Homo-oligomer: A and B are copies of this chain.
Amino acid sequence: MPLLQESIQESTKEAHKIQPGLLASYRKAQERGLKLNMARGKPSPEQLDLSSGMLNALGPDELVGACHAGQADDRRNYGDLLGIPEARALMAAIMEVPPDSVIVANNSSLSIMYDLVSRAMTHGLAGEAPWARLPEGERPVFVCPAPGYDRHFAATAHFGIEMITVAMRDDGPDMDHVESLVESKEHGRRVKGIWCVPKYSNPTGVTYSEEVVRRLAALKSPARDFRIYWDNAYAVHDLGEQGDTLFSIKQACDEAGNPDRWYQLASTSKITFAGAGIAAVASSPANIDEIARQLAMRTIGPDKLNQLRHVMFLRDLKGVRAHMRRHAELLRPKFETVLRVLAEELGGQGLGEWTRPNGGYFISFDGPVGTARRVVELCADAGVVLTAAGATYPGGVDPHDKNIRIAPTYPSVEELEQASCLFALCVKIAAAEKAARL
């Protein structure tokens, strides 16, 4: 702490323009000893309480009814590699695809995505060469719309896959850039994937337009193993009554004549329990067959009792929608609090832009170029943890050092009020410091 105070005094010396009131407010905030966290895109305890009923939804009595104990399909025993039919139907409804195009796994869609990439590395896709065996000049490349989801980028980097950043716009990735990469005569064969969070995108909250979805589906890729990794993590996570509409990636790919191009992911991590949900992948029949053949080497089957527990509790898409309305009631005041404070404190001052999403888990803030890391640092030293600046970019480096991901779901409304005020204060200080340096 003394170190930082010194550094503020240092920059104060340089930055004659910083209003003394700002620093006084910041010191006062520091003295309050806040301990708040706007970094983590995780549900609050109150949201988790909404699913308490699921804990006992599968007692011994319910099991007898649902499990056909003693039969081959006893859900307590081994088997059902692709998940139980009821859970496949439920996750299919959430993803708006046919049930037989769905595999339901355990609790993590990140694991499913990691495994898709891992198997492509070791075994290849659709009969193409394993990516791990490609010679130096032909190593795989992923297109990474950014700001995006840090764990996509981390997993990709983990496998040594090259990442090319593409800008995120209001309607999805910059498709001119995507096309120039995927359809490149010179390098297009190396481009094996694109990461997409197509609805209420992490962190910008953007939902891809139909035009963008159709352009993705129609990409003329020279690589037979090019895939769209369609991480539909917020498929039913509307904040208001009228949510965004996402055009079907399956339909778009089918109509574009590229039926095997997509993997869609979804989970109940932010529907029921973040740590104990169920996750699923959907794809074309050929891709599901390919995954199933490889999956059979890794497991005898998923945790079918947790799948059944989910089905008993959520029942169907109508049940999911009703449940998600209760989440929205808890989340709306939180998003509104942050957005109100940002508007009050930073509105119309040219100190930043931010998103007002209709769903999802994040608000994306773009401050003045070259200030994001400093804002995160100032917040941290006053007790408010934000997502590391740059985390939303491949390699953890934001080329403009301006994007900050705000996660308003976990803290209480009161905590968000305090944290947002401090955040706005830190943006003003960082902007003033920067102006003084210029």
Contacts and interface: CB of A to CB of B under 8 A. Distances in A.
A36 to B, nearest CB: 13
Nearest to A58: B55
A232 B93 CA distance: 40
Contacts of A300: 108, 110, 151, 274-275
A35 to B, nearest CB: 11
Interface in A60-89: 60, 63, 69-70, 74-80
A304 interface: yes
A56 B69 CA distance: 17
Interface string A105-137: 011101100110010011100000010110000
Copies of this protein, total: 2
A55 B111 CA distance: 26
A303 B106 contact: yes
Interface residues of A, number: 59
A101 B329 CA distance: 43
B273 A42 contact: no
Question: What is the interface of chain A mostly: helix, strand, loop, or mixed?
Answer: loop
A233 to B, nearest CB: 12
B78 A299 contact: no
B78 A275 contact: yes
Interface stretch (A153-161, A163-171, A390-398): A153-161
A55 B48 contact: no
A59 B301 CA distance: 25
Interface in A140-164: 151, 154-155, 158-159
